[in-house]
Structure formats: structure tokens, C-alpha cells
């Protein structure tokens, strides 16, 4: 039974990675099978509704991985500015190393599927909201009102997503470095942390 579970997990992990890096449309099922080392029948056994069902679970897996990574970093700091800037710094280092979205963003799949699949659009929306909430909760813990913290959490998430896209496109981390600096200035004006 464990082998079956391992096979499903391998398929999901490979799909999540490829969807983040190459996108939904550019990733074929045969590629997922080949990279996961799984037979064709196993994909349809675990995901009888095909690629969209696989993508839904892959989005959830990627979202959980991204959230865990961000939450782990945020938990290392009592100062929310340092925590959020450390999250961005980690992303900057990852992009400098391999210039890929992996475990950073589901933006590519969101942009590709928002008009063609309501279920995938909804899954991406939930993932973005969960990420915004991580930043908001950290800011609430620092004394900001729920309303301001929610607005700032959304702004931070939007700036980071945009900076990831620009950084990957330009093949340098300048956009992320700029967001990192400006997030500190912005949050300092709200929190007055020295």
C-alpha cells in the first residue's frame, strides 16, 4: 500500500514542480509520468478526471509548501519587518541560484488558467489569500489593526508576486531587492520599529 501512496506523491510532486516552472499548458501528462517514473495507468488511477484534477491537487501541494516555507521564516523573527524581508531575501537567493518559480509562486498557473478553468482559478485564489493572511497575521501580532494588517498583507503579497515575475523575466533579482527595501520603509512607517 505504501508503494501506491509513494507513486501518487511522486506524481503530485513532479506535477506541482512542473506546473510552477513551465505552467499548466506547457506541461504534458507524459512528461509528468516520465519524470515521476510512474506508469501511465497510475496517473488515471489516482486522477481519474485527468490533468485538471491533478493540477488542483498540485496547486494545493505547492501552496502548502510555499506557506510552510514562509511561515517557518516568519516564525524566526519577532520583528515583522525583519521576517518579511527575510522571506523576500530567501526568494531572491533562490532566483539567483536557478531562476525558477519552484516553491515560490503559483502565478504562472494562475495566469494561464483563470479564464479556462473555474476550479483552478478558485484554487489559485485560495492559495493567494492564504499567503496574504500569513503576512497579515504577522502584522496583527505586532499591534496593527486587523483592517490595516489585511490591506498590508494583500499589498505585500501582490508586490512579491509581481517582483518574482519581473525578476524571472529580467533574469535578475532587482525587482525583488527593490520590493524588499520598500517593504521595510512602508512597514516601518506603520509600526515605528527601531
- Give the pLDDT confidence of 129-165 residue by residue, as tens digits: 999 999 999 999 999 999 999 999 999 999 999 999 8
Q: Tell me the torsion sign for CA atoms 70, 73, 77, 82.
A: negative
Specify if 153 maps to a domain. yes
Q: What are phi and psi of 48, to 5 degrees?
A: -60, -20
Specify if 9 maps to a domain. no
Specify if 26 maps to a domain. no
CB neighbours of 73 closer than 8 A, spacing ≥ 6?
83, 86, 87, 90
Residue numbers of the domain that contains 153? 59-191
CB-count burial class (<10 Å; 0-12, 13-18, 19+) for 20: buried
The average confidence (pLDDT) of the chain is 91
CB neighbours of 118 closer than 8 A, spacing ≥ 6?
none
pLDDT in tens, 49-89: 999 999 999 999 999 999 999 999 999 999 999 999 999 99
> How many folded domains does the chain comprise?
1
CATH number at residue 157: 1.10.357.10
Specify if 3 maps to a domain. no
Specify if 44 maps to a domain. no
Report the 10 Å Cβ neighbour count for 44. 13
CA distance 42 to 76: 40
Amino acid at each position: 500500500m505504501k508503494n501506491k501512496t509513494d507513486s501518487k506523491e511522486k506524481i503530485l510532486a513532479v506535477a506541482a514542480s512542473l506546473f510552477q516552472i513551465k505552467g499548466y499548458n506547457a506541461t504534458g501528462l507524459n512528461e509528468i509520468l516520465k519524470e515521476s517514473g510512474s506508469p501511465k495507468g497510475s496517473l488515471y488511477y489516482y486522477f481519474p478526471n485527468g490533468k485538471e484534477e491533478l493540477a488542483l491537487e498540485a496547486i494545493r501541494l505547492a501552496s502548502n509548501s510555499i506557506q510552510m516555507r514562509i511561515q517557518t521564516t516568519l516564525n524566526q523573527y519577532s520583528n515583522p519587518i525583519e521576517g518579511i524581508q527575510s522571506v523576500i531575501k530567501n526568494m531572491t537567493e533562490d532566483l539567483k541560484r536557478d531562476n525558477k518559480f519552484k516553491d515560490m509562486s503559483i502565478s504562472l498557473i494562475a495566469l494561464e488558467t483563470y479564464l479556462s478553468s473555474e476550479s483552478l482559478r478558485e484554487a489559485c485564489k485560495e492559495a493567494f489569500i492564504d499567503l496574504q493572511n500569513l503576512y497579515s497575521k504577522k502584522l496583527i501580532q505586532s499591534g496593527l489593526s486587523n483592517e490595516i494588517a489585511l490591506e498590508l498583507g494583500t499589498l505585500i503579497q501582490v508586490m512579491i508576486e509581481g517582483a518574482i515575475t519581473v525578476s524571472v523575466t529580467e533574469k535578475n533579482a532587482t525587482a525583488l531587492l527593490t520590493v524588499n527595501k520598500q517593504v521595510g520603509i512602508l512597514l516601518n512607517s506603520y509600526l515605528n520599529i527601531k
